[in-house]
Structure 1
Amino acid sequence: MTIKIYYTTVTGSREVKTHQNAVTQALDSKGIKYELVDISQDSSLRDDMRSKCGKPTAMPPQIFNEEQYCGDYTQFAEAVEDDAVEQFLKLA
């Protein structure tokens, strides 16, 4: 199973940058491997991310386990707070 994080390297939003860093830092601290998918490299990746999560205006980071949608930053942050990251990522 591969955890995929859709993110962007090109954003003027401090909030998006902060959320992306928080997700990767939390996963790194738990030793959970993940793949980063940079939606700024190709607009079809952004469209794919939005289609998969069912939100036409979704902003990164969006988190998936393979092709299964796990959630966005807010849901991830709640899982971290509840010590339920593995369940959120559908690993447990």
Structure 2
Amino acid sequence: MVIKVFVATSSGSIAIRKKQQEVVGFLEANKIDFKEFDIAGDEDNRRWMRENVPGEKKPQNGIPLPPQIFNEEQYCGDFDSFFSAKEENIIYSFLGLAPPPGSKEEEGETAPEEAGDVTEEGAEGEAEDEEAEAGEEEPGDDEEAEEDS
């Protein structure tokens, strides 16, 4: 079984690029066989990805953004699903793969703090995203400070 990761190699969105890099980096680091499919340069890949993401998993605008992850033809999920599975140490189940012998997932343990460098790296990226979002949502604080003066 081959894991398929649909990416956009020429994405203008830094957030999308970071998410794609995190998925690909995790799969490489854990020696999980996968193949990348570029939706930016190949209309057939883009069409296949859009048609095979289940309706209930599509965003409101109906167009799923990369990265999208499949095991052959079976939809696994998007980045948020991937990240949650990684944090809960159930990534092999998420990908539809048997966990390797001796893995935390095989033993039924789910301690995200013991997941290692990859989790910390992922949490770092999430923190940066949250900081960026928080910076956009706080202009009202400045107005309140001016009123108090």
1:50: Cα distance to partner?
1.0
Q: Which has the larger radius of gyration?
A: 2
TM-score scaled by length of structure 2: 0.59
Report the Cα distance in structure 2 between the residues aligned to 1:45 and 1:35, rounded to whole angstroms. 12
- Find the partner of 2:68 among 55, 62, 80: 62
Equivalent position of 2:8 in the other structure: 8
Residue 93 of structure 2, aligned match among 62, 87, 92: 87
Q: TM-score, normalised by structure 1?
A: 0.94
Matched, 1:72 2:78: yes
Q: Secondary structure at the match of 1:71?
A: strand
Unaligned runs of 5+ in 1: none
C-alpha distance after superposition, 1:47-83 (max 9, x if no partner) = 2101101333100000000010000000000011011
- The Cα RMSD (Å) is 1.0
Deviation at 1:25, TM superposition (A): 1.0
- Which residue of 2 is the match for residue 47 of structure 1? 47
Pick the structure with more strand per residue: 1
Q: Deviations over 1:17-53 (max 9, x none)?
A: 0000000111112110100001112223212101101
3-state DSSP of counterpart to 1:16: helix
Which structure is richer in relative contact order (CA contacts within 8 A, separation 6 or more)? 1
The one-letter code of the counterpart of 1:89 is L
Q: What secondary structure, in the 3-state scheme, does the structure 2 residue paired with 1:41 have?
A: coil
Deviates more, 1:38-47 or 1:62-71: 38-47
Letter of the 2:86 partner, please give it.
Answer: V
Instruction: Give the length in aligned residue pairs.
Output: 92
Decide which structure has greater helix share.
2
1:89 CA displacement = 0.1
- In structure 2, distance between residues paired with 1:2 and 1:44: 18
In the TM superposition, structure 1's runs of 4+ consecutive aligned residues that sit over 6 Å from their partners are: none
